[in-house]
Chain A
Amino acid sequence: MRIVIGEDQVLLREGLVRLLEEQGHEVVGSAGDGPDMVRKAKAHRPDIVIADVRMPPSQTDEGLRAALEIRTAEPSIGILVLSHHVEVRYALELLADDASGVGYLLKQRVADLDRFFAALERIDAGGSVIDPEVVSAMLGRAQRDPIDRLTPRQREVLALMAEGRTNAGIAEELVITEKAVAKHVAAIFEALGLPPSADGNRRVLAVIRYLNR
């Protein structure tokens, strides 16, 4: 497959290029910073972009932001983000809209060559690859009560819903517009993982979750 590499650590970049070419892939561009990587990805339209998170010029999460930019501009390009450290937050940002053709791995996983090449194939095929570290950290979080992730205002709204108030009643109580209440309610449904459905059960379900804590 055709690949663009964004990696500012020169030795590692050269190592990756050699590795990929030995495997029969074509490295059509390599960049040492975020903007250059975006430029080369847009110019070459590769199958996959392999991006390091921390890159110049800002030496922060430059590569991640560049990868997200490429994904927005060219959704068909697969993205594999590599880093010496993994962050659940970055994984969530990568997976936010569409989990297809995305990967996020520790750099040290590259040395496990079979899994690394398999990961590239999976991303190219539209699948996703997430580092086991990230997965276990996410599982740790998933056990948490979703109601705790609500903002204080959302919790107020939910408490009033539990009292049986209508949106209009809640708006009056909190001195906000009814439209704002509707937005809070939608955010609550989403946070509690209640999918839109034809019947009005979501409100009841949300209240039950709240009261059952």
Chain B
Amino acid sequence: MAALATVQLAVAIAGDPPGVPTATVALPTLVAVVYAAAGLIAWARRPHSRIGALLTAVGLAWLGWGLWAADIPVLTALGLLCGMLPIVVMVHLLLAFPSGRLERRSERALVLLGYLLIPLVQLPTELLGASRDDGITLLDVVDDTAVADLARTVQVAAQGVLLVATAVLVIRRLRAEDPGWRRVTAPVYLSGLTALTFVVLVAVLHGTGFTDAGGAGVNALDAVAIAVVVVLPIAFLWVMLRGGFARAGELSEFVGRLGDAPLGPTPLADAVADALGDPTATVAYWLPAERHYVDASGAAVEPDSHRGVEEVTHDGSRVGAIVYDRRLLREAEPLRSVASTVGLALERERLAAQLRASARDLRASRARLAEAADDERRRIARDLHDGAQQRLVLLAIESERLARRADEPAAVRRAAGELRAGLDAALTDIRGLVQGIVPPLLAERGLGTAVEELAAQAPLPVTLEVEPGDLAAPEHVQSTAYFVVSEALANVAKHAEATRATVLVRRGDGVLRIEVADDGVGGVDRARGSGLDGLADRVAAAGGTFAVEGAAGAGTSVRAELPCES
């Protein structure tokens, strides 16, 4: 490559085209060298990616185009025919980023069109460009200024269309990406588009690239264009060598980190992420019975089209996987080396993850059961209200009417009266039952009012710290909270010998906090079955936490926190 560049430079400088300073002649070579260098580095570090090859190809295109300055007609003609090549290869490079492949049909079509422009537009333009005073006659077939101008216009328009179409495709692709990915790739795409724009701009303004027929040197626009164009390969390299494109680097260091005990799930995942250069990479643990992966917390790992899963085995059986971003890691080799290293560490952690997963399932199913039980209680209360209670009241009315009918025998009327009394007792029983299932005030007015009423009914003074407006929790959470306050106050009345109590119910940070405290004798003995175990169970079933404090003589405080997402 270096030899090629040297030869090209020598030929171009030796050509010394009239009216063009040596610096301008050397510029394409400079650009070519930067691209080729970046391309060869990328190629060497990531042999499976075509990006390195494409970068190198851009360098070659620039070299080819630089030949126009040569004093050998064949080479000059070749250089002129390469006029659009750097632009087209740059479009190819940009659209192939980051995988090196053109993944969409629209992108493949545009790149193909770009390459076709060279025989279809560039070649005719040069053949018809006889009126140009470049002194190169090899290609000048038709000598007609009007035709030449028309050809030139077509070429400029074609370049413009190519640029705009590329911009549209790139922007469309950026908009479709998720934000994290966009942050990584946007700088490359944007610098690429900028570079392309400048190259096209210069080409349009100058006719053929950097040759300025009347110019005496490298003007400001050329300088900016060169700077921008040279920045692009550096941007590519920068993105490839840091973050997502870093090669699975120092494996020895990685193995060393694995040896550091103790190794929790997060350090393992961090070590994997570092080694792969994919900050989103993590580990998953295989649950053979359930046949799916879970994360360190025991939650199932959901499949995602962007996430690749590299299986990790230990002693021949699957223990887990490395979950990584497919777009950042396209090579199998570093993944395999990391995967083969983490087997033992993953197996060690897998059992813990398995336990967490079953605990998690258990909690979830218990919470579902608790919620279903509360729904069922409320349904029973509603059914009693709309069914049995209504019918019994009607029957009681009918019995009474019968008891009052003068035309019935006295015995019938007496029996009807007794029937009504019996129905009245049944209604009273049902009323008590419903009160115990779901207190009507709780169903009708919600937790705040129901707790106020509990406090008002308590046989001792109760100070309330309840914000009724803040308690719009799901029904089953309200039911559990009500149960806690009600049972705790009943306990205070029965055992505490307290003179006063405080009830706090407050919602915030995704939990409903309940506290019932008294100034009584304390010394709670939960082993003696004070009803607190029932409370603890019901709170735990709702996924909450429950605690009782009460040293002898220091009063008792019952605290519960119920998860309560809004």
Interface hit among A38-46, A83-91, A186-194 = A83-91
| Contact residues, B371-426 vs A (CB, 8 A) | 385-386, 389-394, 396-397, 399-401, 404, 420, 423-424
**B296 CB → nearest A CB, Å:** 45
| Interface size class, chain B | 35 or more
Are B445 and A111 interface neighbours, CB within 8 A?
Answer: no
Question: Quick check: is B486 within 8 A (CB to CB) of the other chain?
Answer: no
Contact of B461 among A53, A107, A144 (CB under 8 A): A144
Q: Hey, what's the 0/1 contact readout for A165-206 against B, CB within 8 Å counting as 1?
A: 000000000000000000000000000000000000000000
- Tell me whether B424 and A111 are in contact (CB under 8 A): yes
A60 adjacent to B386 (CB under 8 Å): no
Q: Which residues of B contact A24 (CB under 8 A)?
A: none
Interface of B: prevailing SS: helix
Q: Say if the beta carbon of B14 comes within 8 Å of chain A.
A: no
- When distances are taken between beta carbons in the complex, the residues of chain B under 8 Å from A148 are 461-463, 500
Indicate if the CB atoms of A113 and B404 lie closer than 8 Å.
Answer: yes
Q: Which chain A residues border B530 with CB–CB below 8 Å?
A: none
Closest residue on chain A to residue B404 by CB atoms: A113
**A85 CA to B443 CA, complexed, in Å:** 12
Smallest CB gap from B391: residue in A = A11
A113 contact from B390, B401, B428, B441, Cβ within 8 A:
B401
Q: Is the CB of B463 within 8 A of A60?
A: no
B263 at the interface (CB under 8 A from A): no
Cβ proximity bits B430-441 to A, threshold 8 Å, 1 near / 0 not: 010011000011
A54 pairs with B444, CB closer than 8 A:
yes
Give the A interface residue count (CB, 8 A).
29
Pair count A-B, CB < 8 A:
81
Query: In the complex where A54-B385, A141-B457 touch, is A111 in contact with B420 (Cβ < 8 A)?
Result: yes
Q: Does A112 have its Cβ within 8 Å of any Cβ on chain B? A: yes
Distance (Å) between the CB of A188 and the closest chain B CB? Answer: 16
* Min CB gap B431→A, angstroms: 6
Q: Does A108 reach chain B (CB closer than 8 Å)?
A: yes
Q: Which of A15, A84, A85 contacts B394 (CB 8 A)?
A: A15
Docked pose: A152 CA to B465 CA in angstroms: 9
Q: Is the CB of A60 within 8 A of B444?
A: yes
CB distance from A81 to the nearest CB of B (A): 13
Indicate the member of A19, A53, A137, A148 with the most B CB atoms within 10 Å: A148
B453 touches A19 (CB 8 A): no
Q: B456 at interface (Cβ–Cβ under 8 A)?
A: yes
Closest 8 CB pairs of A and B: A148-B461, A111-B396, A60-B444, A108-B427, A85-B440, A61-B444, A9-B390, A84-B389
5 A-B pairs in the complex with CB atoms less than 8 angstroms apart: A11-B390, A61-B444, A87-B440, A148-B462, A148-B463
